[in-house]
Amino acid sequence: LLQIVNLAQPYSDAKTIVDKPTSKSSQQVLADFAAYNLSALTEGNIVNFLDNDFLGEGLELQGAPLPGFSASPPFLNNITDPLVKAFAQTVNGYWPQLARTANQSVLCSIYPGDGPCESTFIPLNYSFVIPGGRFREQYYWDSYWIVQGLLESQLYATVNSTLQNFMDEISDFGFVPNGGRTYYLDRSQPPLFVHMLSDYVTTTGDASILQRGLPSAETELAWWATNRTIQVKSPYTGQTYSMARYAVNNSAPRPESYIEDYLTVHDPTLSTPLTDSQAADLYSELASGAETGWDYSSRFEMVPQLGNPGLRTLNVRNHIPVDLNSILYKAHVLLANLYGSSNPPAAATHLQVAAGIRAGILDLMWDSSKLAFYDFNLTSNSRNSIFTAATFYPVWNGIVPDEVLSSQANAFGYFAAVNMVMNRYNGTFPVTFVDYTGLQWDSPNAWPPHQYIILSALEALPSNLTTNALPTPGSGQSTYDLVPAGQLNFTEAQLPGQPYHNNQAVNFTATGPGADVNGLNGTVVNGGNATAGEGWAATLRREMANRYVTSVLCSWYATGGSISGMLPQLPAAQLNLSNSIGNTGNMFEKFSNLNVDSSGSGGEYTVQVGFGWTNGVLLWATANYGQSLVAPQCPPLVAAASSSSGAGGLMVSLPSVVGMVVAASVSLLVSFLL
């Protein structure tokens, strides 16, 4: 049934179907569907069936109150620029729009045959904040950055409720699933529960949550150790380490992305179809890619040069990801700290596990000559060469290599790509510098969590490594020349160009000084104001924080945002360019590092708005860097920008193979299924 309905594509997003509760028992739904003449099934039949046997998606949820919500939380007093302060206050006001709780009056069972209706929604006992858009339930790693913003807004009860929901899931399932739907129960996401638990206790002083939180943390970490950890022997030292990977057992399309997975596996343009075994293997890779949170990226492809078809070469399960293992390292350290003197043996055990993970990361993933971390590839038995934002996860989580600690020059070298991005591109730090895949976790997309992680990693450096001024290129050089040789695995000429600068349609692919189009004296465009005696790390933090605020505010402004008495809405002629007439500003899930007034693009679904982690990082950044932030310079919209600045973001069409599959008769599909 699910396959037939999805191939008919009655909705633009496959998630819509599986988020709809049934209006009848599953037995009756199946009987109603079987009553149709499947050999002559029409699209109209399918639409009628869905209308008659299913309810609206999202009905299981309703708005929730936010205890202690204030329209003017104290952190706003830390922001000196009036416009930035007003924008932060506006974003703080979005929390009530994203708060949800289960609607008990319409809940359906998640178990087949256990009631008059059924649903994929996992009923949660406490309220929570959703990301937004199609992501209408509680999600795992999104919640970490949502929590950072909620803590700045002093919405402590909502953070507690979020953690209680995760603890309920750990109690019920033994781990935290990807999201609050039954179709996510075969996978998790980057395990940030202990990080959130520690941040909550540190900020609020509420240690009472640990009575439940400590056993929950033990259960979750045991799940990762049992289900996602393998032994890896280093080709560099011969040492063997227990290291984690993403590896989902799955042999079918993900229900929420059914048509996308089906077309990836059953591509009719291929002369040699996959065998059943190969198809099942690829479905497992696709689900494992979703577990990474980076769904999808050239980072995990064997042949990224293929672009989107490169998904058929996904090799997630044979990677030891640097970000995952860094998170698990810190989780064990934080859990040991939470135990403190209350349970010294347990604390010692977790510190011992953490030490083993740390040693494995430094051996398998750290390249001391390139001053960067790379995933370890089990297939090649070597480090990958692709440079990604994951390189900053270890230092964020407290793993600082000796080479970085040895000198300010090396410490800067580790972050030199950040300096290059600030000078070379209009926006924030991209997830990779691979710009030819069309995948959403590749260039030119820049994601809010990574801006937070880079800023936090810069903060984590010892102060004795950050006092020197920011290095500058030599004569005839650009900031690319300050990056350690080989770190990016791209020559300067191979880097993505900056096609727009000051609204002029030019393609900056130059090498040398001309490539640093955003460089100014002591700062960068939309990088804030330099201060006397500023160390290099402080300079990068100031520039990064300002550039992130610029991307969020300018893309919101370009889609109809306004602030009464301070920032009037753009005229209709301008808003028409971004398809935003009647709109009041979008908070996008991702951004373009090429245009500060644009959302990101690519991926399996249209760009989502809301948006939980974007808001959380914005509030965190304004709270922590408020005195360094200045009003951004938003460029005027131009016609060419309309393709990526629309009210819903860039609409990504499915591959051309969709039409080829849908064109096949339903009767043939039914025959194939039967």
Read off the pLDDT of residues 558-577 as tens digits, 9 standing for 90 and up: 999 999 999 999 999 999 98
How high is the pLDDT of residue 605? 55
3-class DSSP assignment, residue 331: helix
Instruction: Output the six-digit token pair for 539.
Output: 């300079």
Fold matches, 2-227 and 228-399: yes
**pLDDT, tens only, 574-589:** 999 889 999 999 999 9
How high is the pLDDT of residue 345? 98
Our measurement of the distance from residue 401's CA atom to the centroid of its chain's CA atoms, rounded to an integer in Å, reads 26
Spell 641-665 as b/e; 16+ CB within 10 A means b. bbebbbbbbbebeebebbeebbeee
The pLDDT mean for the chain works out to 92
More confident residue, 39 or 258: 258
CB-CB contact of 649 with 588 (8 Å): yes
302 has pLDDT over 80? yes
d(CA 49, CA 24): 12
513 has pLDDT over 80? yes
Sign of CA dihedral 206, 207, 209, 214: positive
Nearest to 357 by CA among 243, 189, 236, 228: 243
How high is the pLDDT of residue 99? 97
Nearest to 489 by CA among 369, 385, 610: 385
399 has pLDDT over 50? yes
d(CA 387, CA 487): 7
Amino acid symbol at 355: A
Nearest to 415 by CA among 550, 329, 591, 544: 544
Average pLDDT over residues 348-362: 99
650 has pLDDT over 50? no
**pLDDT, tens only, 131-161:** 998 899 999 999 999 999 999 999 999 999 9
| pLDDT band at residue 664 under the 50/70/90 scheme | very low
How high is the pLDDT of residue 662? 31
How high is the pLDDT of residue 463? 97
Average pLDDT over residues 430-456: 96
d(CA 108, CA 103): 10
In order of 203, 286, 383, the CA distances from 318 in angstroms are: 38, 13, 12
Arch. (CATH architecture) of 2-227? Alpha/alpha barrel (1.50)
CB atoms within 10 A of CB 137: 22
- Runs of H (alpha helix) within 236-391: 258-265, 276-291, 322-339, 344-364
How high is the pLDDT of residue 644? 37
Query: What contacts 342, CB < 8 A, 6 or more positions away?
Result: none
Query: What contacts 128, CB < 8 A, 6 or more positions away?
Result: 64, 99, 100, 101, 138, 143, 158, 161, 162, 165
Q: How many CA atoms lie within 13 A of 129 on its CB side?
A: 33
**pLDDT, tens only, 514-525:** 999 999 999 999
CB atoms within 10 A of CB 202: 13
| pLDDT band at residue 655 under the 50/70/90 scheme | very low
166 has pLDDT over 80? yes
Strands laid side by side in the 61-63 sheet:
61-63, 99-102, 128-129
Secondary structure in 3-state letters for 548-609: HHHHHHHHHHHCCCCECCCECCCCHHHHHHCCCCCCCCCCECCEECCCCCCECCCCCCCCCE
**pLDDT, tens only, 88-139:** 999 999 999 999 999 988 899 888 878 889 999 999 999 999 999 889 999 9
How high is the pLDDT of residue 672? 28
Average pLDDT over residues 476-482: 97
202 has pLDDT over 90? yes
Average pLDDT over residues 439-455: 98
203 has pLDDT over 70? yes
Place of tokens 């465009």: 525
In order of 427, 433, 438, 519, 545, the CA distances from 492 in angstroms are: 18, 11, 21, 17, 25
**Domain 228-399: which topology?**
Glycosyltransferase (1.50.10)
d(CA 432, CA 419): 15
How high is the pLDDT of residue 111? 83
Spell 430-453 as b/e; 16+ CB within 10 A means b. bbbbbbebbbbbbbbbbbbbbbbb
Q: Where are the domains of the chain?
A: 2-227, 228-399
Long-range CB contact pairs, 490-493, < 8 A, 24+: 490/387, 490/433
Task: Read off the DSSP letter of residue 57.
Answer: T
d(CA 106, CA 22): 11
Q: What percent of the chain has pLDDT over 90?
A: 81
Q: What are phi and psi of 432, to 5 degrees?
A: -145, 180
Amino acid symbol at 601: S
d(CA 455, CA 329): 19
d(CA 471, CA 194): 37
CB-CB contact of 328 with 225 (8 Å): no
d(CA 104, CA 60): 7
The full DSSP string for 115-147 is SS-B-SB---SS-EE--BTTB-S-BHHHHHHHH
How high is the pLDDT of residue 271? 77
Our measurement of the distance from residue 558's CA atom to the centroid of its chain's CA atoms, rounded to an integer in Å, reads 23
626 has pLDDT over 90? yes
Our measurement of the distance from residue 645's CA atom to the centroid of its chain's CA atoms, rounded to an integer in Å, reads 19
What is the enclosing helix (H) or strand (E) of 547? Answer: helix 536-558
How high is the pLDDT of residue 640? 47
- Runs of H (alpha helix) within 205-306: 210-227, 258-265, 276-291
Average pLDDT over residues 234-252: 98
Average pLDDT over residues 214-232: 99
d(CA 208, CA 104): 28
85 has pLDDT over 60? yes
Average pLDDT over residues 310-318: 95
| pLDDT band at residue 310 under the 50/70/90 scheme | confident
**pLDDT, tens only, 65-80:** 999 999 999 999 999 9
Q: What percent of the chain has pLDDT over 70?
A: 92
Nearest to 315 by CA among 376, 254, 236, 230: 376
